[in-house]
Structure 1
Amino acid sequence: MCTLERRGQFFILTLTGVNKTDQEHRLNPSLISSIRSALAEVKSQAVDGSALITLSEGKFFSNGFDLRHAQVVGVKSGSNQAAIDELLRMVDLFKGVVADMMALPMPTIAAVTGHAAAAGLMLAMSHDYVTMTSSRSVLYMSELDIGMTLPDYFIALIRGKVGSSSARRRLVLQAAKVRAEDAVAMGIVDSAHGSAEEVVAAAMRTGEELTKKKWSGKAYAGIRVALYPEVCGLLGLKDVTVTPSKL
């Protein structure tokens, strides 16, 4: 599942897994609900100058949707269609996670210390900043390899966050497994570091620099939503006007 810890101005969200042998952090309804609950708590406790840092345990940041969970649902019902319907339900549920991230009233930083695939990569990219380890991580949009189109909000997030058409093509039309240095060159992540510890330290440094600004959380969230109109429109987030409390 996940845990949430507050350290001063920082909120630390950690994907923990159910146990030490289950640390792919596959996005099933239970984990999605756990993340959304944590983000709701972050939002309720946010003050100007807060920041969120998302971490993970083990060798995965997140390995995407829990296809095994969908398969179990299908087996129990005796219907492959039930498995497909459960996958589509997870796609719809995860939309709420991305919406929560995009509307969060603070800077957000993902420390990718393990592989991030498919919806797991979308979870990382829904943050404002991404740091990544070069020692053991790859980014991978696996949908083409498994014969599945991408949800509309995935495509919109990729268009909003990855500026180069060639980088987008490599990511989604070649299903490339992208290592950290290439991910930096493609504009998918902000920095690459040699170890997991260095990745987390870099994320914390970025957070410290941002929290010093003491920006208005409402203004920050409003500007973010306006910056990514396509994906935020699909997520049901509205562009709002925020004005200073004093002029």
Structure 2
Amino acid sequence: MANLKLTRVDKVQVLTWSDGGKGNVFNGDAVDEWSAVLDELENTPGKAGLVITSDDPKFFSSGLDVPWVMQQADVKPFVSQLEDFFIRLSLLNMPVVAAINGHAYAGGAVLACAADFRYMRADRGRFCFSEVKLGLPFTAPLLEVIRLLPAPDALYELALTGDAWGGDECAARGVVSAALQENDVLSAAMARAEQLAEFDRRTYTAIKRGLRRQLELVTKP
């Protein structure tokens, strides 16, 4: 895999995104690569958990690869591909924890929402749904993904203002489980994933998918 590195630590798979300083952006190739990783993860036997992180010094993910998107004659196939990926990640058959060690903007924030739990840096990095400022309304499936945040009041404000919140505010408003210093983010996410990985995987998946059933009911336009 060109930009995604999957490393197993006991029962936890650590997925590190690095696209060479481009900001960990989503384009057709990136989503294809993510989808291939999900193929592998879904078929991982036994107890397992997943931690998603980045080794970009600034970004967890900056969202869409806007220049690439602007070059597409028809963006509908890509949008559908992106929706399918986020829904698939949201319903993945194992615990998923995001270690947000940099900015999570737009599609990067959606990626964080698809996780079951989130941990974020307190000293650097912002969480932001910039779609309202970019003139890019959420599609119905993506709305269901961001609604997975267990903080509806915060989600409402973030989605309608496009404000960028730091880790401390995200933790205070329930967007993330905790805001920590840089060196502690990954270890906290790992500890949570290790804890969750001990549960019966089928039971955990059934409960998660039950709580997220609306994702399976979304009808694409």
**Same-fold call, TM cutoff 0.5:** yes
Flag structure 1 segments of 5+ consecutive residues without an equivalent. Answer: 74-81, 237-247
Q: Give 1:179's aligned amino acid.
A: G
In structure 2, the residue matched to 1:142 is: 130
- After TM superposition, give the deviation of residue 235 of structure 1 in Å: 7.8
Superposed CA offset, 1:20-68 (max 9, x none): x32x011001111111111110111131x31001111111111111111
**Percent of pairs with identical residues:** 25
Q: Which whole-Å CA distance do the structure 1 matches of 2:216 and 2:42 have between them? A: 18
Cα contact 2:42–2:92 (8 A) shared by 1: yes
- After TM superposition, give the deviation of residue 102 of structure 1 in Å: 2.4
Does 2:122 match 1:120? Answer: no
Flag structure 2 segments of 5+ consecutive residues without an equivalent. Answer: none
Larger radius of gyration: 1
Q: What does residue range 67-146 of structure 1 map to in structure 2 within 5 Å? A: 67-73=66-72, 82=73, 85-86=74-75, 88-146=76-134
- After TM superposition, give the deviation of residue 159 of structure 1 in Å: 2.6
In structure 2, the residue matched to 1:244 is: none
Superposed CA offset, 1:121-168 (max 9, x none): 111110111000011110111111111211112222233324333x12
Q: Give 2:191's aligned amino acid.
A: R
Q: Which whole-Å CA distance do the structure 1 matches of 2:219 and 2:29 have between them? A: 21
Superposed CA offset, 1:65-110 (max 9, x none): 111102233xxxxxxxx2xx32x43321112222222232211111
In structure 1, the residue matched to 2:142 is: 154
TM-score by length of 2: 0.91
Cα contact 1:102–1:221 (8 A) shared by 2: no
Cα contact 2:87–2:145 (8 A) shared by 1: no
How big is the alpha-carbon RMSD for the aligned residues of Structure 1 and Structure 2? 1.7
Q: Which whole-Å CA distance do the structure 2 matches of 1:67 and 1:46 have between them? A: 37
Q: What does residue range 224-243 of structure 1 map to in structure 2 within 5 Å? A: 224-234=208-218
Superposed CA offset, 1:178-220 (max 9, x none): 111111122211111021x210111111122223x3x222222
Number of residue-to-residue matches in the alignment: 217
Between 200-209 and 125-134, report the one with greater CA deviation: 200-209
TM-score by length of 1: 0.82
Q: Which whole-Å CA distance do the structure 1 matches of 2:11 and 2:107 have between them? A: 28
- After TM superposition, give the deviation of residue 12 of structure 1 in Å: 1.1
Does 2:7 match 1:8? Answer: no
